[in-house]
């Protein structure tokens, strides 16, 4: 490589340029968190509207810092039930195997909510070992998977993530949320 080639490389803006839209990704994450909080508020509404209700929902701004995104404000959700406080704390959008995670923490434990492809029931981990002779077949298989993925748009949804080692994704709805909430505020 000559000095001229090196200079051309240094002046070429297209080489190694990151084209991922981090701001758009952050906005999608913030909207997903807002949507989850709206669902939870709606699920608990019949209880919060009762006279002498022992349940209260509130929010507090917090600041997260993530690589490529930097600092940003996001809400924590608090659910106060009969003298106990449960916090739903966003962990971030740059989570391995997920588009985001929120931890629900109470006196008796923690439940993880993860924002994943709605078709998944557990994490998908692929480990491949191949010889150089199999490399071409592997590349062709990957090309087919990528083409299929591009044709099928991914729809993300919030799910409950069970503890390791046998992680499962449980659909999040009024019933499963209520069970999860009870699990972090009761001993049993």
- The CA distance from 111 to 28, in Å, is 22
Over residues 151-155, the mean pLDDT reads 82
> Could you tell me if residue 105 is left (phi over 0), alpha (psi between -120 and 50 degrees) or otherwise beta?
beta
d(CA 159, CA 130): 34
Is 177 a member of any domain?
yes
pTM for the predicted model, two decimal places: 0.80
Q: Is residue 3 part of a domain?
A: no
Host domain of residue 58: 21-185
Say if 15 falls within a structural domain.
no
| Backbone torsions φ then ψ of 146, nearest 5 degrees | -65, -45
Q: What is the mean pLDDT of residues 117-145?
A: 75
Q: What's the CA dihedral at 34, 35, 40, 45 to 10 degrees?
A: 90
Number of domains observed in the structure of the chain? 1
| 61 assigned to some structural domain | yes
Residue 111 lies in a domain: yes
Whether the per-residue pLDDT at 108 is higher than 60: the answer is yes
């Amino acid at each position: 490589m000559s000095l001229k080639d090196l200079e051309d490389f240094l002046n070429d803006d297209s080489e190694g340029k990151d084209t991922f839209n981090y701001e758009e990704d952050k906005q999608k994450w913030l909207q997903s968190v807002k949507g989850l909080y709206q669902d939870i508020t709606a699920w608990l509404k019949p209880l919060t509207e009762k006279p002498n209700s022992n349940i209260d929902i509130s929010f507090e701004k917090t600041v997260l810092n993530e690589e490529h995104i930097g600092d940003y404000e996001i809400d924590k959700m608090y659910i106060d039930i009969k003298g106990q406080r449960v916090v739903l704390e966003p962990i971030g959008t740059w989570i391995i195997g997920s588009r985001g995670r929120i931890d629900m923490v109470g006196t008796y434990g923690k439940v993880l909510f993860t924002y994943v492809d709605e078709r998944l029931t557990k994490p998908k981990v692929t480990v491949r070992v191949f010889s150089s002779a199999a490399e071409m077949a592997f590349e062709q298989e990957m090309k087919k998977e990528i083409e299929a993925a591009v044709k099928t748009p991914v729809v993300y949804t919030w799910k409950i993530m069970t503890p390791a080692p046998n992680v499962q994704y449980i659909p999040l709805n009024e019933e499963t949320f209520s069970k999860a909430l009870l699990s972090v505020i009761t001993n049993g």
